[in-house]
Structure 1
Amino acid sequence: MLNFPASSKQGLIIFTRYPEPGKTKTRLIPVLGSVGAANLQRQMTEHTILQVKELQKVIDISVAVWYSGGDLRLMQEWLGLDLVYQPQGEGDLGLRMGRSLLQAFQSGAQKAIIIGTDCPGLNAQILATAFDKLCTFDLVLGPAMDGGYYLIGLRQPIPELFANIEWGTAQVFQRTLEIAQKLNLSYVNLVPLADIDRPEDLSIWEQAFMG
């Protein structure tokens, strides 16, 4: 199945999880409860989709939602019929991200960006900047405050960037940069953003959306 029509040379991939209580945002369950944690996942994904739809008003991009949990019907009922959905499948995060990028490029994209849904500060302007930077750089990264990244963008598949990384640790961003330097890739970093994974991060969401 081809996710990106040839008409659009820019592909945006959104990684998210269906908000099933007990299976999402598990590190927040002690504070929010399983339903509360799932609701937060739901709200953050919907916020991200809104930003992406704002971006689509300004530049021509194809969007694919790569999901875990749930199924196609549940995803369509949740986020609508006007998006392309693809199950993330098996493997660690690196394998899944590499697979999604490969599919984007095989489908005609000349630039492809992956984002998650955990950063309330990620907006249409930052996404537009990321696509713009890919005109000049091989790699665009959005560093997260916890040592990971909230965005990665490439102009071709580079599977080495997703191999031999301990996902979920504070070294992910730094390790990715080290690999990029070894491969002699030109790269640029976007503005650092905070993501919401742990109880101490919840104040970021509250400040952003609840005044």
Structure 2
Amino acid sequence: MLKSLETLQQHLIIFTRYPEPGKTKTRLIPALGSIGAANLQRQMTEHTLFQVQELQKLINVSLEMRFAGGGWQLMQDWLGADLVYHAQGDGDLGSRMARSLYDSFQGQAKYVVIIGTDCPGLNSQILAQAFEQIYTVDLVLGPAIDGGYYLIALRRFIPELFANIDWGTSQVLQQTVDIAHKLNLSYHYLPPLADVDRPDDLHIWQRIRETEVKIR
């Protein structure tokens, strides 16, 4: 069991987007329509939040929603007023993640995990692994099958990991690991998971949903 003082310093950040039709999950609009794609964004964010809440039953983790689109009031109306919300701000994905990490480490956080909402296979057990491993290595990565990553965990701010990365390509994970090697960072991989970004990926979400219905 982790020391109680340390568990108070564990922080998790969810990157998501307000589910406004036409502005989210746009690559799925041909298959689902703009409203259907927005509904999928809403459902996948709620699924991710549920998994984090399950994690919080196991270990003490603070939570923050970093959102794009919408606004504070819309986010609160959607997910509730008891969560902490921050706008992602300007810049590419790397700049936005680096900003959220800097803010967290400037506060009380000692171990920070960032996740998105595109990998429905990400569950509370994998999240617990991430926090467990970041106590022993510099960097934890959750590889996405498309060549990106669905999770990154750090125990100190390392801005180099978020610079000169070709975000949105199949090179993201490898470029990040290359930088880690140059910086002589120790790292750990979590199980690889699939994103749901394109019409061909929708069966992944459907399978997860069917499994959850059976469990609940």
- d(CA) in 1 for partners of 2:117 and 2:134? 21
What are the ranges of 5 or more consecutive residues in structure 1 without an aligned counterpart? 1-5
SS in 2 for 1:151: strand
* Conserved 8 A contact 2:7-2:61: no
SS in 1 for 2:150: strand
- d(CA) in 2 for partners of 1:185 and 1:156? 11
1:106 aligns with 2:118: no
Give the letter aligned to residue 84 of structure 2: V
Runs of 4+ aligned residues of structure 1 deviating over 2 Å after TM superposition are none
SS in 2 for 1:89: coil
Residue 206 of structure 1 is matched in structure 2 by 206
* Conserved 8 A contact 2:16-2:66: yes
Residue 140 of structure 1 is matched in structure 2 by 140
Q: Deviations over 1:35-91 (max 9, x none)?
A: 000000000000000000011111111100000000000000101111100000000
SS in 2 for 1:121: coil
Cα RMSD, aligned residues only? 1.1
- d(CA) in 1 for partners of 2:82 and 2:134? 26
User: Where does 1:41-190 land on structure 2 (aligned, <5 Å)?
Assistant: 41-190=41-190
Residue 3 of structure 2 is matched in structure 1 by none
Give the letter aligned to residue 89 of structure 2: G
What are the ranges of 5 or more consecutive residues in structure 2 without an aligned counterpart? 1-5, 212-216
Between Structure 1 and Structure 2, how many residues are aligned? 206
TM-score by length of 1: 0.96
How far did residue 208 of structure 1 move? 1.2
Give the letter aligned to residue 177 of structure 1: V
TM-score by length of 2: 0.94
SS in 2 for 1:147: coil
- d(CA) in 1 for partners of 2:162 and 2:31? 32
How far did residue 8 of structure 1 move? 2.3
- d(CA) in 1 for partners of 2:103 and 2:59? 21
